A and B are shown apart, each in its own frame.
Chain A
Amino acid sequence: MSVPPNYMCPSSASGGLTRWRNRHSFNKLFPLDKQVLFPTLLKNLSRRIVLKGKIHHLIFILTLIFIFHSPAFAIDQISWFDPQKTNLLIGIILTLIFIFGFILYAKKSKKLKIRSIPGLEALDEAVGRATEMGKPILFSSGLGKMERVATMASMNILGSVAEKIAEYNTPLLIPNYDPMVTTVAQEVVKESFTKAGHPESYKKENIYFVTQSQFGYVAAVDGIMLRERPATNLFLGTFEAESLILAETGNSIGALQIAGTDSTIQLSFFIVACDYTLIGEELFAASGYLTKNPLVLGSIKGQDFLKLIIGFLIVAGGILSTLGYNFLINFLGKG
């Protein structure tokens, strides 16, 4: 079947790409001329759906129609990149290179170590204490919803903690602020108990949704602490003004407390009221630290090298700015 001339891009008609496209019938399905691209695609794909019954082509067509009818396509002047954000793009690309580079390195060498984190070292002690005292462990991921990275990090830690708890058959109480987090926490704990070989010890009723009112949640968790008297409190995730109320109540009942959050303001409250605190990035490094997964450890090493680069840029920016050269600060401060 010959290729109609209007399907060809005139400027590249004699090029290798065009020959390759012709040979592989690409011009028939994906013509270079934008004026005929969408109608041709629709026609060819419709024929495939009718003749061959391929449903994924139908979904593709519906998506094309949706995009084609979008008002965004009616705009003549389009911009595909915001130049004010060049520095951020370079930063993200560098971050990706370092993190993925170290993940690949870790995959090959598997000999990466990270410094000791006292808050995570104390987890065994915390679980053991609760077991010896015959009291439950309370875990709270705070006010974060599932899209918050701190909440995801919290769920990753919960997986490792639940595995330890399952071995000792200690009750684990998880009151939640968000219904979606409740469902995820139930799945994580269930899987961890199964992995530890104690699926029968999993109690779904101990992981429940409380309320979406910030101080209603505090009142509920404080009430649980005062009634159930947990031996260990784990506050890991997103916390706001309620952090100190929770931590001080936990302190008043004599619970061993381990906390961690990404909020610098709440960290100070946790530091004074808790026994161990995961400061900033330690919360995100926790899952790698606990599972010893070399790929996760690799990404943590990548982070460390990025910190080194940022430190270097801060020092260089300071020196250059002092000498009157502001180009580095201006470039990094854009966007």
Chain B
Amino acid sequence: MLAQFFVPHPLFLKGYQNVLDWMQIIYVFALLVGALSFLILHLDKISKKQKGWGYNLVAIAGLALMVFFGFYKGIQKGSPFLWIFDNLQVPMQSTMFSLLAFFVASAAYRGFRARNIQATILLIAGILVILGRVPLGEMLHSSIPQFATWVLNIPSMAARRGILIGVGLGSIATSLRIIVGIERTYLGK
């Protein structure tokens, strides 16, 4: 995998592609394990009639229904499978995602409280960046958008890059520890 990054020979690229294909094949089998785990978990709760077992029944019914429609009618446009996906799954996902807006507000309220000097600087910088990204900022003062861009491109980017260098080196070191067998916890050892 590392060699193909440096060697542009088609043989290495083909080998790399083969590895990726095999990963997909293995992954399909892992998905079966996941589906089995899902079934066992929910069937167990239903059989024990645990609190809220009706929801487990809905989960199993949902899985069975999607599998049935997928195999019986296919997944092409106009199929029941795609209809359920577009009209149930997608709206539910969008609902969950829209919660993020409210959580950002509550997290910002907590994060921007001026408890000390650093928090106050964060609060001022945050307000100026918010103002700089909306037309109101430019109406108040022409330099607010420039300041917002400066904050994002210079200090914020410098901090991000500092973290990214650490993450990159940490990833390499962890990978090496795994490759040479120093770190084997993820294998259950």
A contact residues vs B (CB 8 Å cutoff): 67, 70-73, 75, 78-82, 85, 88-89, 92, 95-96, 99-100, 103, 146-147, 149-150, 152-153, 155-156, 158-160, 178-180, 182-184, 187-188, 190-191, 205, 208-216, 218-219, 227, 241, 244-245, 247-248, 262, 264, 267, 269, 271-273, 279-281, 283-285, 287, 293, 295-296, 299-300, 302-303, 306-307, 310
Q: Does B65 contact A (CB under 8 A)?
A: no
- Show 8 residue pairs from A and B whose CB-CB distance is below 8 angstroms, ordered by the A residue: A78-B10, A81-B8, A152-B174, A184-B187, A187-B187, A244-B104, A248-B107, A280-B163
Q: Does B108 contact A (CB under 8 A)?
A: yes
Q: Does B73 contact A (CB under 8 A)?
A: no
Using A184-B186, A245-B100, A245-B103 as known contacts, say yes or no to A214 and B93 having CB atoms under 8 A apart: yes
Contact, CB under 8 Å: B176 / A147: no
Contact, CB under 8 Å: A300 / B173: yes
Binds A, one of B28-36, B129-137, B142-150: B28-36
Interface of A is mostly: helix
Min C-beta distance of A314 to chain B, whole Å: 9
Q: Does B7 contact A (CB under 8 A)?
A: yes
A184 interface neighbour in B14, B163, B188, Cβ under 8 Å: B188
| Complex CA distance for A105 and B189, rounded to whole angstroms | 24
| Complex CA distance for A205 and B52, rounded to whole angstroms | 17
Using A273-B107, A284-B174, A299-B173 as known contacts, say yes or no to A216 and B188 having CB atoms under 8 A apart: no
B100 interface neighbour in A79, A156, A244, A279, Cβ under 8 Å: A244
| Complex CA distance for A310 and B174, rounded to whole angstroms | 19
| Complex CA distance for A146 and B187, rounded to whole angstroms | 11
Contact, CB under 8 Å: B185 / A281: no
Find the A residue at minimum CB distance from B55: A223
Contact, CB under 8 Å: B38 / A72: no
Using A209-B37, A244-B100, A293-B182 as known contacts, say yes or no to A302 and B173 having CB atoms under 8 A apart: yes
A-side contacts of B77, CB under 8 Å: none
> What 11 new A-B contacts, CB under 8 Å, besides A70-B11, A155-B185?
A72-B11, A78-B9, A150-B171, A152-B178, A153-B170, A159-B185, A215-B96, A219-B96, A244-B103, A262-B171, A302-B173
Q: Does B54 contact A (CB under 8 A)?
A: no
Find the B residue at minimum CB distance from A290: B185
| Complex CA distance for A226 and B18, rounded to whole angstroms | 44
B-side contacts of A149, CB under 8 Å: 170-171, 174-175
| Complex CA distance for A295 and B106, rounded to whole angstroms | 43
Contact, CB under 8 Å: A306 / B110: no
Q: Does B41 contact A (CB under 8 A)?
A: yes
Min C-beta distance of B47 to chain A, whole Å: 12
A-side contacts of B187, CB under 8 Å: 184, 187
Min C-beta distance of B8 to chain A, whole Å: 5
Using A85-B6, A245-B100, A303-B170 as known contacts, say yes or no to A73 and B11 having CB atoms under 8 A apart: yes
Contact, CB under 8 Å: A152 / B14: no
B-side contacts of A296, CB under 8 Å: 177, 182-183
